[in-house]
């Protein structure tokens, strides 16, 4: 690693530790020529993830868009921001672990709804109503009935 002070290419690592939830490594280095210390970060080079919209437009994946949608769905609900951030991290991890570099926006929406359903059912219905474009009250009622059936089935399994 080249020294940022004198340009010498020889340095030694004094300390290494993971940062950003293990997605990168922080290294404290010392230049062998001038003795000055500096910090470097190593990150895995990630290939861009492309989202294919319903009209076939393509755009770069933006985790902030998912987080903003979750925040809106959870407005005035008791879901901590840390939970929403972990959902976003998990969804991004799932998408990147998939070998496809292009992902349909519909698949992302389904992942979001799956995670939201487990966290907060009201937020799930809110998100689903926008994502699935509910057009009338009966669509809301159908979604709520589906949640009730799942809830009753889960209660029976635990008994």
- For each successive 10 residues of the chain (159 residues), what is the average pLDDT? 92 91 88 95 84 95 95 94 93 87 93 92 87 80 85 75
Residues 134 and 76 in one domain: yes
Residue 142 is predicted with a pLDDT of 85
Residue 47 is predicted with a pLDDT of 79
Residues 131 and 54 in one domain: yes
Rounded Cα distance between 86 and 141, Å, is 29
Residues 6+ apart with CB under 8 A from 66: 87, 88, 91, 92, 108, 112
Residue 128 is predicted with a pLDDT of 85
Rounded Cα distance between 9 and 31, Å, is 8
Residue 24 is predicted with a pLDDT of 86
Residues 72 and 128 in one domain: yes
Strand partners, 26: 17, 41
In a domain, 5, yes or no: no
Structural domain count, the chain? 2
Which residue's structure tokens are 């879901």?
Answer: 79
Q: Are 51 and 64 in contact (CB under 8 A)?
A: no
Range of the domain at 35: 11-43
In a domain, 3, yes or no: no
In a domain, 141, yes or no: yes
Q: Are 102 and 59 in contact (CB under 8 A)?
A: no
Residue 109 is predicted with a pLDDT of 92
Instruction: Render the burial of 2-35: b for 16+ CB within 10 Å, e for the rest.
Output: ebeeeeeeebeeeeeeeeeeeeebebebebeeee
Residue 111 is predicted with a pLDDT of 94
Residue 49 is predicted with a pLDDT of 92
């Amino acid at each position: 690693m080249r020294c940022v002070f004198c340009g010498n290419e020889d340095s030694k690592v004094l300390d290494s530790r993971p940062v950003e939830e293990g997605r990168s490594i922080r290294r404290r280095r010392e230049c062998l020529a001038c003795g000055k210390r500096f910090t470097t970060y190593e990150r895995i080079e990630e290939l861009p993830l492309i989202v294919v919209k319903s009209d076939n437009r393509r755009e770069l994946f933006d985790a902030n868009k998912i987080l903003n949608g979750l925040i809106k769905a959870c407005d005035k609900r008791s879901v901590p921001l840390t939970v929403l951030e972990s959902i976003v991290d998990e969804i991004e991890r799932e998408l990147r672990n998939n070998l496809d570099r292009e992902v349909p926006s519909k698949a992302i929406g389904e992942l979001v709804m799956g995670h939201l359903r487990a966290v907060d059912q009201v937020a799930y219905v809110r998100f689903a109503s926008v994502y699935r474009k509910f057009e009338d009250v009966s669509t809301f009622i159908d979604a709520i009935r589906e949640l009730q059936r799942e809830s009753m089935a889960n209660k029976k399994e635990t008994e």
